Chains A and B, each alone.
Chain A
Amino acid sequence: MRPKYLLPFNFRYFGIGLILVHIPIKLLWDAMYPEGYGDHDPISDSAGNFLFSPPHLFFIGTTLMVLVGLFLVAFSRERVEDEQITQLRLDSLRWAIYLNYAILLFGLIFTHGSESGHILMLNIWLPLLFFILRFQWVLYRLNRSARSNDSEKKV
């Protein structure tokens, strides 16, 4: 069975690179503007051109780097992408959606105003991150189980 709609294996390294590159850029920005760069809230920007303002462009740029990086890591295929891996992938994706909506509902019930916005921001990258962590964890357990079976046979 040939897996569909997955990226080539090596794309994960490009994704990890994007996430790592984003860190020094963010640190540099924070070092340059420790007090914040003017008005960060695009809605209340008096000039009305928030789309091309440096903080907004920086926010979009870094957010895109992290999101694209997470996406590439999450959806690049494994070396051997067989039907068991596909099932583990789907299971992890389901758990990521469960967790995401649990946090979203919890956040919407117990927060208000700008705090709700923060919960929505969290939801941008949380499903991808949780999916990656859960998927890699089950892969690790699968490999460990195969190795322990091998060592049992040798004894």
Chain B
Amino acid sequence: MTNSIRVERAIKEITQAELAGQVGVSRQTINSIESNKYIPSTLLALKIARVFSKTVEEIFHLEKNDI
């Protein structure tokens, strides 16, 4: 699964630490999600999408090998 959090952060001009604070996780976790090393729970994915005022599908994308 890939995601566009880094792009969305750049558009919204917020840092990893600020996003982490808004969704209640550590900055390292946001970094891991952006680097595709960690797949967030549904709850966290929904919280992240809400910060960017988008749907989960607009932020997170399934890859071929996920299907």
Contact = CB atoms under 8 A, between A and B. Distances in A.
Interface of A: 1, 79-80, 82-85, 87, 142-143, 145-146, 149
A83 B32 contact: no
Contacts, number: 38
24 contacts: A1-B41, A1-B44, A79-B26, A80-B26, A82-B24, A82-B26, A82-B29, A83-B25, A83-B29, A83-B44, A84-B25, A84-B26, A84-B29, A87-B38, A142-B28, A145-B32, A145-B35, A145-B37, A146-B27, A146-B28, A146-B31, A146-B32, A149-B31, A149-B35
B11 interface: no
Contacts of A82: 24-26, 29
B62 to A, nearest CB: 20
A149 B31 CA distance: 8
Q: Is the interface of A mostly helix, strand, loop or mixed?
A: helix
A83 B40 contact: yes
B67 interface: no
* Chain B interface residue number, banded: 10 to 19
A1 B23 CA distance: 10
Contacts of A143: 28
B31 A80 contact: no
Nearest to B33: A84
Given A83-B29, A142-B32, 4 more contacts: A1-B43, A82-B29, A83-B44, A145-B32
Contact of B41 (A83, A142, A149): A83
Contacts of A79: 26
Contacts of B44: 1, 83
Interface in B13-36: 24-29, 31-32, 35
